[in-house]
Chain A
Amino acid sequence: MALETRFHVLAVDDSLIDRMLIERLLKTSSFNVTTVDSATKALKFLGLVEDELRTFETSVASEIHQDVDVNLIITDYCMPGMTGYDLLRKIKESKSLKNIPVVIMSSENVPSRINRCLEEGAEEFFLKPVQQADVNKLKPHLMKSRNKGDQDQEQEQDQHFHNKRKDMEAISSPNKTRLKCSS
C-alpha cells in the first residue's frame, strides 16, 4: 500500500445532522475531515478573506496566507447567507484554490441548479441524503488533482504576480441577493 498522506476533505453544511453524516461517510473512506457550518467559515479556513474595500459594488476575495492543505471541498448548496454555489464561485475565482475539486450536495433535484454548479466547475453533484456510493466517487477526483497540482505548481509560481492583476480585473460577481435558495 502506498505511503501517501490521507486526503483532507473540508465539509460545509449548516445542518448538524448532515455534518455528522458526511463526516462519518468520509472517515469510513479514510479521509481526514474538517467540518464547518457555513461558507464564510469555510473561506476563513481556506485562508480567503472578503475584501469589501476593493470596489463598492462587488467584493473580491483577496488571498492571505494559506497554510491548510485541503484536497477536496464538499458543500451543501442551500445555506443561509453565502450559499454553496457562491462558495464554489469564490473558490474557482481564487488563484490558490481553484484547483481544489468542489462537490455540491443538495436535497433538491433541480436540473438547472445541477447544471449551473457543474458549469461553474463543480466536479460532482450529490443528492441528499449522501450515501457511501457517492463518497466512493470522490477518490478519482482527488487522485487527479493531486497529480495535476504537482505539475502546475512550478509554472504557477513564475506567473503569479503577472497574472494576479489581470485576474482581479476579470473577476466580477453580479450583485445577488438571495432571500432563499431558489434555482
Chain B
Amino acid sequence: MDRNQSRRQVAAMKQSLFDQGLLDEQFIQLEELQDDANPNFVEEIVTLHYRDSSRLITSIEQALKERNPLDFNKLDTLMHQFKGSSSSIGAKKVKAECNLFREYCRAGSAEGCMRSFQQLKREYAALRKKLEAYFQLARQAGPQETACRSK
C-alpha cells in the first residue's frame, strides 16, 4: 500500500475515534509527548492502561459478587482508579461510564452499578479493539504518523 495512502487512513481512523466521542484532547496531549527519543510513548502508555483495566475489571467483578451487602466504598475506590487510568489516556466514553458507576455507588444502587458496569465493559472492549487496530495501522504506515509534531 502506498505510504501516503496508509497515513491518510491512519489519520482518518484517528479522526473517527474523536468524532465518535471515544477519545478526547488528552490523547492528543499524549501524542505531543512522543518524539524521536520516545517514539512509542502513546502505545506504551495505552498498553499499561490495558493492564490496569484488566486487573481492575477483575477486581470489580469480584467485588460485585460479594453481595449482601455490596461494599460501595470498595467499588467506588476501584472505579476511581479505573477512571483515572482512562482519563489519562483520553478514553472519553469509558471515563463517562466510570462516573456513572460512581454515582450509582454513592446512591447505593446495586442494580445501577451492575448495569453500568456491563455497559462500561462493552465500551472498554470496543475502544480497546479500535485502538489496537489504530496502532497496528500506524505502525505499518511508518514512524512519523502518530507524532503531531517532531521535536
- 12-40 of chain B: CB within 8 A of chain A: 26, 29-30, 32-33, 38
Per-residue CB proximity of A44-78 to B under 8 Å, as 1/0? 00000000000000000000000000000000001
Contact flag A21-B77 (CB < 8 Å), given A15-B84, A16-B52, A128-B88: no
A25 to B41, CA, bound (A): 12
- Indicate whether B81 reaches chain A with its CB closer than 8 angstroms: yes
Q: Is the interface of B mostly helix, strand, loop or mixed?
A: helix
Q: How far is it, in angstroms, between the C-alpha of A180 and the C-alpha of B26 when the chains are bound? A: 27
- Expressed in whole angstroms, the Cα–Cα distance for A107 and B48 within the complex equals 18
Contacts of B48 in A (CB 8 A): 16-17, 20
Q: Does B80 contact A (CB under 8 A)?
A: yes
Cα distance, A177 to B80, chains bound together (Å): 19
Given A17-B48, A179-B73, A25 contacting B88 (CB threshold 8 A): no
Of chain A, the residue at the smallest CB distance from B29 is A131
Residue tally, chain A, CB below 8 Å to B: 18
A24 in complex: contacting residue of B38, B73, B87, B89, CB < 8 Å: B38
Chain A's closest residue to B35 (CB) is A28
Contact of A78 among B33, B49, B80 (CB under 8 A): B80
Q: How far is the CA of A78 from the CA of B87 in the complex (A)?
A: 15
**Residues from chain A with Cβ under 8 Å of B97 in the complex:** none
The residue of chain B having its C-beta at the shortest distance from the C-beta of A20 within the complex is: B45
Q: Does A129 sit at the interface, judged by CB under 8 A?
A: yes
The answer to whether A86 has its CB under 8 Å from any CB of chain B is no
In the complex, whether A30 has a CB less than 8 A from a CB of chain B is no
Which residue from chain A places its CB closest to the CB of B44 in the assembled complex? A20
Give Cα distance in the complex from A155 to B56, angstroms: 51
Q: Could you jot down 28 A-B contacts, CB within 8 Å?
A: A15-B81, A15-B84, A15-B85, A15-B88, A16-B48, A17-B48, A17-B49, A17-B84, A17-B85, A18-B84, A20-B44, A20-B45, A20-B48, A21-B33, A24-B33, A24-B38, A25-B33, A107-B80, A107-B83, A107-B87, A128-B87, A129-B87, A129-B88, A131-B26, A180-B73, A180-B76, A180-B77, A181-B80
